[in-house]
A and B are shown apart, each in its own frame.
Chain A
Amino acid sequence: GQQLNQSPQSMFIQEGEDVSMNCTSSSIFNTWLWYKQDPGEGPVLLIALYKAGELTSNGRLTAQFGITRKDSFLNISASIPSDVGIYFCAGQYRDAGKSTFGDGTTLTVKP
């Protein structure tokens, strides 16, 4: 099956710093998604990307769909304590609901 490599696995940053994480795949996707998961909760969609090269922002979050359709990155600017959580990338190829998830990036923000 399709595999996603997400990095870094974890990040410890100071409040106010910018954060960058990325995902790469050996196969192409038609859609890239970025989710955030808080403890004890289900994943919540942050950003969806539909087209190769697309750059999309959602507040302090910016994500890009790689030109090759095999990678994506997520940037968080000026991090705040509530950004703490696990961030997952996910790719979709055909079925718009069937997603292949990355391993997640655990973000810790120190005030």
Chain B
Amino acid sequence: EPEVTQTPSHQVTQMGQEVILRCVPISNHLYFYWYRQILGQKVEFLVSFYNNEISEKSEIFDDQFSVERPDGSNFTLKIRSTKLEDSAMYFCASRGDSRRNEKLFFGSGTQLSVL
């Protein structure tokens, strides 16, 4: 089965540093998402992306966050100046082009640790 690939699996950074989390969605998918999960908590929606622009974003996704699809295969999440509370597992997800194709494929996540 096709899968969403995320790199790195674990990222450690100092507070205030910029990080870029990378994702390769499934190749024929058109809708892309970032979710995060703080340790022991629920999965939370961050942002959705379609047709090279943000479709919707949550309150968590403030000015420190940005997303980009720099080429035909990668989808990145950038955090400009990391804070301690940004420590979480970040999941990328993608789905196909049908509105009813709600099966989201999640990647295995990037564990971000901000020290």
How many positions in chain A have a CB within 8 Å of any CB in the partner chain? 25
B103 touches A48 (CB 8 A): yes
C-alpha gap A43/B59 in the complex (Å): 22
A48 touches B106 (CB 8 A): no
Give the A-B contact count at a CB cut-off of 8 A. 61
B12 near A: Cβ within 8 Å?
Answer: no
Known contacts A96-B100, A96-B101; can you find 9 more A-B pairs with CB under 8 A? A33-B102, A42-B106, A42-B108, A43-B43, A88-B43, A97-B93, A99-B104, A101-B44, A103-B41
Give A contacts to B, CB under 8 Å: 1, 31, 33, 37, 40-45, 48, 50, 88, 90, 92, 95-104
Chosen A-B contacts, 18 in total, with CB atoms closer than 8 Å, are: A33-B102, A41-B108, A42-B106, A43-B43, A43-B106, A45-B104, A48-B103, A90-B43, A96-B95, A96-B99, A96-B102, A97-B48, A98-B33, A98-B48, A100-B45, A101-B42, A103-B41, A103-B42
